[in-house]
Amino acid sequence: MHTLKLGFIGAGFIANNLVEALKQVRNVEVAVLLERGGAEMLSRKIRDNDLGKAEVVTTINELCERCDAAAVLAPNFARVEIVEKICESLEGAAELDGIICEKPLGRTVGEARRMVELAGEAGLDTAYFENQLHMQSLHNARKQLEPQMHEMGPISLARCTQEHSGPHSGWFWDPTRQGGGVLLDMGCHSIAMAQFILTPPGKAIDFLEPVSVSADVSLLKWGQPEYRDQLKETMGVDYEQTPAEDYCTGVITYRNPETGQQLKAEFANSWMYDKTGLKLQADGLGPGYALEMNTQNSPLEIFIGDQAAESVSDADSGMEKATASRGLMPMQPNEPDLLGFPAELADARNAFLNGEDGMLNWEFGLHITRLCMAAYLSAERGMEIDLTDDDVMEELESYKPLIARGRGKEVL
């Protein structure tokens, strides 16, 4: 097998996660990085672990000339412009086999559709990086339950939750730059995961037809004066003036186009889970069978007493977004694999080297963005949004949530 040479555009949190995952993936390397904040440090880490040459370059054109696939890992607000520059580079000498974008594909349906159009016009195979749909725990559970699904009927209710204590970087908290709050940041994960769980075996990920969305968003913890001031001091974001939601919940109804059966997907997300670290939880309920996954369950725990706690420098190394450095704490022995990152990279490698889209392409990313926007619209109007209404679908094409426009005080 040939080696897929990646070019990283972005050197922040997700790029570092992917580098950790690359230690477990063959025939993929980081050949080049665009000079952005943290690029030199990440380049050293890549070289120190023999994961690629990791040359740091100053232009996107140089990056495209030195890799097989560009990975767009930069903040949400920069992605459309980056992909436009990638496509401009391909009009010259540069060639790419594919292009990757970390979730979400866009902050609005309009942005996501622009991304799809750019990749299509450039003739690029695409991979939408949504790691949770590559989690082996979910794939293994679905595989184990296939006989029950065929005999008893499909999973008809999926419930997915993702929570932690809040993002690591200021732009994530800023709704005008991120595109919203926890619904866009983490709701996109849970919405995609629930749809995956509901999809019958052997069917494409876009098999089910969305029928309606009902959602609610709230500002619970980070709107309180004490925590609002803390957020302003640490992240430079003023939630008194431009707040975003730190909690969301909703239900999406799907229809099986072959049988007409209705299926339900529940999602709930928060930036106020001040416990042991990132929690992903998922259920799938079928007639006479079920699956359940919780990343807080681990075969490994450690205990650190008060006297020993002073020596702990990085609780986050045990579990992403850990908030404590003492007491009884779960640790994940291989968190990148648990969260699906190695499988995600391997899927992109196999797809691009074979001239195909990844398991999740940018059309799927557009679909998830549309569902997120429908959830925001539902919360704003206090009503269920009918996704079978052509007028609604047309409205979503140009819709931008009030929260993303800096007018969150009107709805929170």
Q: Which tens digit of pLDDT belongs to each residue from 148-192?
A: 999 999 999 999 999 999 999 999 999 999 999 999 999 999 999
Q: Domain for residue 406, yes or no? A: no
Backbone angles phi, psi at 40, to 5 degrees: -65, -40
Q: Are residues 40 and 160 in the same domain?
A: no
pLDDT digits (tens, 9 = 90+) for 53-101: 999 999 999 999 999 999 999 999 999 999 999 999 999 878 999 999 9
What would you report as the CA-atom Rg of the chain, rounded to the nearest whole angstrom?
21
Joined tokens for residue 221: 């913890």
Same domain for 124 and 184? no
- What average pLDDT score do residues 310-338 get? 71
Residue 105 and residue 206 share a domain: no
The answer to whether the CB of 198 falls within 8 A of the CB of 208 is yes
Give domain status of residue 180, yes or no: yes
* 228 domain-assigned: no
Residue where the block lists tokens 């996704």: 387
Span 358-401, pLDDT tens digits: 999 999 999 999 999 999 999 999 999 999 999 999 999 999 99
Q: Same domain for 265 and 118?
A: no
Place of tokens 């926007």: 373
Q: Do 380 and 355 fall into the same domain?
A: no
* pLDDT per residue as tens digits for the range 332-368: 889 999 999 999 999 999 999 999 999 999 999 999 9
Residues 173 and 300 in one domain: yes
Q: What pLDDT does 323 receive?
A: 63
Q: Does some domain include residue 410?
A: no
What pLDDT, on a 0 to 100 scale, did the predictor assign at position 398?
98
For residues 196 and 390, give the distance between their C-alpha atoms in angstroms, rounded to a whole number. 25
User: Does any domain span residue 284?
Assistant: yes
pLDDT at residue 312 is higher than 80: no
Q: Which residues fall within 8 angstroms of residue 389, CB to CB, at 6 or more apart?
A: none
Tell me the backbone φ, ψ of residue 24, rounded to 5 degrees. -110, 10
Q: Measure Cα distances from 365 to 113, 127, 169 in Å.
A: 9, 9, 23
Residue 273 above 60 pLDDT? Answer: yes
What whole-number distance in Å separates Cα of residue 391 and Cα of residue 401? Answer: 17
* Residue 94 confidence (pLDDT): 85
Give the CATH number, domain containing residue 160.
Answer: 3.30.360.10
> Domain check: are 281 and 138 in the same one?
yes
In a domain, 12, yes or no: yes
Whether 351 and 281 share a structural domain: no
Task: Indicate whether 345 and 317 sit together in one domain.
Answer: no
**Domain co-membership, 320 together with 250:** yes
Q: What CATH number corresponds to the domain at position 118?
A: 3.40.50.720
The residue assigned the tokens 């204590």 is 165
Q: Are residues 14 and 99 in the same domain?
A: yes
Q: Do 152 and 31 share a structural domain?
A: no
- Within a domain: 336: no
Please list, in sequence order, all residues whose beta carbon lies within 8 angstroms of the beta carbon of residue 260, skipping any fewer than 6 positions away: none
CA distance 352 to 293: 30
Dihedrals φ, ψ of 402, to 5°?
-60, -40
CB 98 within 8 A of CB 68: yes
Q: Residue 408 has what pLDDT?
A: 98
Q: How many domains does the chain have?
A: 2
| pLDDT over 70 (residue 314) | no
Amino acid at 55: E
Give Cβ neighbours of residue 202 (< 8 Å, ≥ 6 apart): none
- With beta carbons less than 8 A apart as the criterion, state whether 101 and 70 touch: no
Alpha carbons within 13 angstroms on the beta-carbon side of residue 408 total 25
Q: How confident is the model at residue 328 (pLDDT cuts 50, 70, 90)?
A: confident
> Is the CA virtual torsion 368, 335, 316, 33 positive or negative?
negative
Q: Which two tokens stand for residue 55?
A: 């040359």
Pairing mode, strands 300-304 and 327-331: antiparallel
**Assigned domain for 260 exists:** yes
3-state secondary structure the chain: CCCEEEEEECCCHHHHHHHHHHCCCCCEEEEEEECCCCHHHHHHHHHHCCCCCCEEECCHHHHHHCCCEEEECCCHHHHHHHHHHHHHHCCCCCCCCEEEEECCCCCCHHHHHHHHHHHHHCCCEEEEECHHHHCHHHHHHHHHCHHHHHHHCCCCEEEEEEECCCCCCHHHHCHHHHCCCHHHHHHHHHHHHHHHHHCCCCCCCCCCEEEEEEEEEECCCCCCHHHHHHHHHHHCCCCCCCCCCCEEEEEEEEECCCCCCEEEEEEEEECCCCCCCCEEEEEEEECCEEEEEECCCCCEEEEECHHHHCCCCCHHHCCCCCCCCCEEEEECCCHHHHCCHHHHHHHHHHHHHCCCCCCCCHHHHHHHHHHHHHHHHHHHHCCCEECCCHHHHHHHHHCCCCCCCCCHHHCC
pLDDT attached to residue 318: 53
The contacts of residue 168 (CB under 8 Å, 6+ apart) are 13, 321
Instruction: Identify any residues that bridge with 268 across adjacent strands, giving them in sequence order.
Output: 161, 249
For position 319, what pLDDT does the model report? 57
What pLDDT does residue 102 have? 98
The pLDDT, as a whole number, for residue 303 is 81
Q: Are 127 and 348 within 8 A, CB to CB?
A: yes
Q: Which domain holds residue 68?
A: 4-131+341-366
Q: What is the pLDDT of residues 214-265, one digit of tens each?
A: 999 999 999 999 999 999 999 999 999 999 999 999 999 999 999 999 999 9
